[in-house]
Amino acid sequence: SRLASIGLLTEVVEDFLKPTAEAKRSDLTLILDTSVALDLLGLSGREAKADIENIIGSLRGIGCNVIALPVSGEEMSRNLETMLAQTLPNRHGPTHTAMQKGEITEDFVRSVMRDPERALHQIGVTMRPIDLTTTPSQVKFFDQPTYEDFFSDIGWKRDSIDAREHDATCAAITIRLRAGHKSSDPLNSKFVFVTTNPLFVKYARDFCRRNRMISDRQTPPVIIQRELAMIAWLRTGLLSGQKANQIDIPRSHLIASCERVLRPRREVLKTVHDKLKEFSPEKAQQYELLLADQRSVERLMDETLGLERLASAANPEALLEEMRTATAIEIKTDYERKLRATAQRHGQEKKEMRESSATELAEARAGLARRDAELEELREQRRQLKSDAEASRRAEVERVEGLLVRTNASAASLERVMTWAIVAVAAVGTWGATVGLPQALAWGGGALLILIGLYHTIREIQQKPKFGFQNILDGFARFRLRRGLKVLGFDIAKFENAIDIDYGRLSWRAEERARLLAVEETKTRAEVKGLIPGDGHSHEQLRIDS
């Protein structure tokens, strides 16, 4: 009957072409209850989130604000923590159902549990720091005795004082924030608390009427979410600030409502579990495992019509078998569907391949003809590139050979100068001893010769290398070679490794000189693309490959 009522309401809604009393602007502030905030965060499933997002978005489009209270954030953390602390068979509620369907992950649920204020802030909902002691000037609109009276008569959630204190606190804060403001237009009511608990809505409305806080025609401080959806539809069209089809928009609310009706009930799941433990304890574990699969849970709800009295002692094993069958059938159906889809896709791919083969063959033949016309020209290009490279290498080697000739000549001159210098020193010493040069000059020349002789004698006795003309000439030749290569702009390491230095004379290493003159085969861009066959491939082979 609830589904039929929703369907009838949808037909009525679809008769509207535009909102009956369109609202342009509103300063209404919506205070979200815990359940509504969880819906908006997506913790109650995809459909519930789409529904409340549509409602909130349309009201934001006309200027409405959306906030939450710290006491609701605490209740969000408390409820999620309680659910996650339960074993899998004992978990229940919309968040658990959404996790079973794979619409949310447990990591996301835990992140919201740890910091609900941050999670709400990310979707544009501010958690305003207000409690019963924040605004002393507004206490007169809902004083402490009135709060105690309101709290004492709450008839739902009798086993949870925290839940009752939350509802009483939210109602008191909302009425205080109104500061006596009253209006029959919900969009002009300053503040309203939005919840999904119909008992809370009825109780708050009756309490406010009894205490003369509102009249029968004025908007109560607490309204239910579906009433807010009706207001948003009639006053804004539920367009959320975007151009959309007004007839299709209410169906998101229909789907969300149906999803809530079909949601698995904890009482049914617990009853079946208790019956199995009582009459077939060995199958209770199978039942607990099947509860993790959404398909089997849906089949259980279908078989019991959502009523725990239909889960009797006579049928728990039959219900368990139906749950197993549902899982198996669903898996088989999914496999067959995927198999058919794969076969259809493969058939389509084969057809496309056959159709494209003829086109590709014609294109290949045309391309081969174009390549034949370009082939000889490209080969000539490669030969020319090789010839140019060889000429360039020869020119480089010839310039380096000129540098070697000049360096060798300079080294020979340096050797002669050093030789004659030693001869001159010896002559000065001899002449000073025989003819009679100044004593200091004679002794200096003699001492220099004695030191040179003494150094060579000691190094010879030690059998160690001696510093002499060869070291000086080799260093001079290496210096002239490097400086010359730098002036020519050549790679010093490349040519230095190809040249030997012996007693100041530079000469080529035959194999290195040949390597410098050699030119490797250079691949043109056309060869890289495959226009010219490489080594070991003939022109005819290219035709066959194409």
What is residue 159's predicted lDDT score, i.e. its pLDDT? Answer: 79
C-alpha angle with apex 535: 531 to 539, nearest 5 degrees? 50
Q: Which two tokens stand for residue 501?
A: 């230095």
What is residue 242's predicted lDDT score, i.e. its pLDDT? Answer: 47
Residue-by-residue DSSP string for 462-501: HT----SHHHHHHHHHHHHHHHHHHHHT--HHHHHTTEEE
pLDDT higher than threshold 60 for residue 276: no
Least confident window among 194-208, 247-261, 472-486: 247-261
Comparing CA positions, the residue from 361, 279, 380 lying closest to residue 320 is 279
- Arithmetic mean of pLDDT, 474-487: 83
What is residue 332's predicted lDDT score, i.e. its pLDDT? Answer: 65
- Arithmetic mean of pLDDT, 316-334: 64
Q: What is the mean pLDDT of the chain?
A: 76
Identity of the highest mean pLDDT range in 102-106, 173-177, 312-316, 343-347: 173-177
Q: Which two tokens stand for residue 289?
A: 């495992």
Q: How confident is the model at residue 546 (pLDDT cuts 50, 70, 90)?
A: very low
> Cα-flanking dihedrals φ and ψ of residue 17, to 5°?
-95, -25
What is residue 24's predicted lDDT score, i.e. its pLDDT? Answer: 81
- Arithmetic mean of pLDDT, 218-244: 75
Q: Helix or strand or coil: residue 44?
A: coil
Say which residue, 150 or 400, is predicted with more confidence. 150
Pairing of strands 222-224, 191-195: parallel
pLDDT higher than threshold 60 for residue 88: yes
What pTM was computed for the model?
0.49
Q: How confident is the model at residue 30 (pLDDT cuts 50, 70, 90)?
A: very high
What is residue 73's predicted lDDT score, i.e. its pLDDT? Answer: 94
Q: Which two tokens stand for residue 58?
A: 């349309």
What is residue 543's predicted lDDT score, i.e. its pLDDT? Answer: 45
Least confident window among 62-66, 453-457, 505-509: 453-457
Identity of the highest mean pLDDT range in 199-208, 253-262, 280-289, 408-417: 199-208
What is residue 514's predicted lDDT score, i.e. its pLDDT? Answer: 79
* CB of 219 closer than 8 Å to CB of 185: yes
Q: What is the pLDDT of residues 503-519, one digit of tens each?
A: 778 888 878 777 777 76
Amino acid in position 486: K
Q: How confident is the model at residue 40 (pLDDT cuts 50, 70, 90)?
A: very high
Q: 106-114 and 70-85 helices cross at what angle (nearest 10)?
A: 140
- Arithmetic mean of pLDDT, 149-169: 89
pLDDT higher than threshold 50 for residue 218: yes
- Tell me the C-alpha distance between 248 and 10, whole Å: 10
What is residue 66's predicted lDDT score, i.e. its pLDDT? Answer: 95
Q: What is the pLDDT of residues 389-402, one digit of tens each?
A: 888 888 888 888 88
What is residue 29's predicted lDDT score, i.e. its pLDDT? Answer: 95
Say which residue, 291 or 159, is predicted with more confidence. 159
pLDDT higher than threshold 80 for residue 375: yes
- Arithmetic mean of pLDDT, 68-79: 94
What is residue 265's predicted lDDT score, i.e. its pLDDT? Answer: 54
On the CB side of 362, CA atoms within 13 Å amount to: 4
In a 10 Å sphere around its CB, with 0-12 CB exposed, 13-18 middle and 19+ buried, how is residue 324 labelled?
middle
What is residue 353's predicted lDDT score, i.e. its pLDDT? Answer: 83
What is residue 401's predicted lDDT score, i.e. its pLDDT? Answer: 81
Q: In terms of C-beta distances under 8 Å and separation of at least 24 residues, what long-range contacts does 126-131 make, across chains too?
A: 126/65, 126/66, 126/67, 126/68, 127/67, 127/68, 127/69, 127/70, 127/73, 128/67, 128/68, 128/69, 129/70, 130/69, 130/70, 130/173, 130/177, 131/69, 131/70, 131/71, 131/169, 131/173
- Arithmetic mean of pLDDT, 413-437: 71
Q: Which helix (H) or strand (E) holds 134?
A: none
Say which residue, 8 or 345, is predicted with more confidence. 345
- Arithmetic mean of pLDDT, 220-249: 69
pLDDT higher than threshold 80 for residue 196: yes
Comparing CA positions, the residue from 301, 226, 230, 240 lying closest to residue 265 is 301
Residue-wise over 193-228: b if at least 16 C-beta within 10 A, else e? bbbbbeebbebbbebbeeeebbeeebbbbbbbbbbb
What is residue 383's predicted lDDT score, i.e. its pLDDT? Answer: 82
Residue-by-residue DSSP string for 303-319: HHTT-GGGS-TTSHHHH
- Tell me the C-alpha distance between 410 and 403, whole Å: 11
The alpha carbon of residue 70 and the mean position of all alpha carbons in its chain are separated, in whole angstroms, by 32
Q: How confident is the model at residue 241 (pLDDT cuts 50, 70, 90)?
A: very low
Q: Helix or strand or coil: residue 31?
A: strand
C-alpha angle with apex 147: 141 to 148, nearest 5 degrees? 150
Say which residue, 520 or 193, is predicted with more confidence. 193
What is residue 442's predicted lDDT score, i.e. its pLDDT? Answer: 57
- Tell me the C-alpha distance between 287 and 268, whole Å: 13
- Tell me the C-alpha distance between 379 and 262, whole Å: 77
- Arithmetic mean of pLDDT, 80-89: 86
> Cα-flanking dihedrals φ and ψ of residue 121, to 5°?
-60, -35
What is residue 33's predicted lDDT score, i.e. its pLDDT? Answer: 95
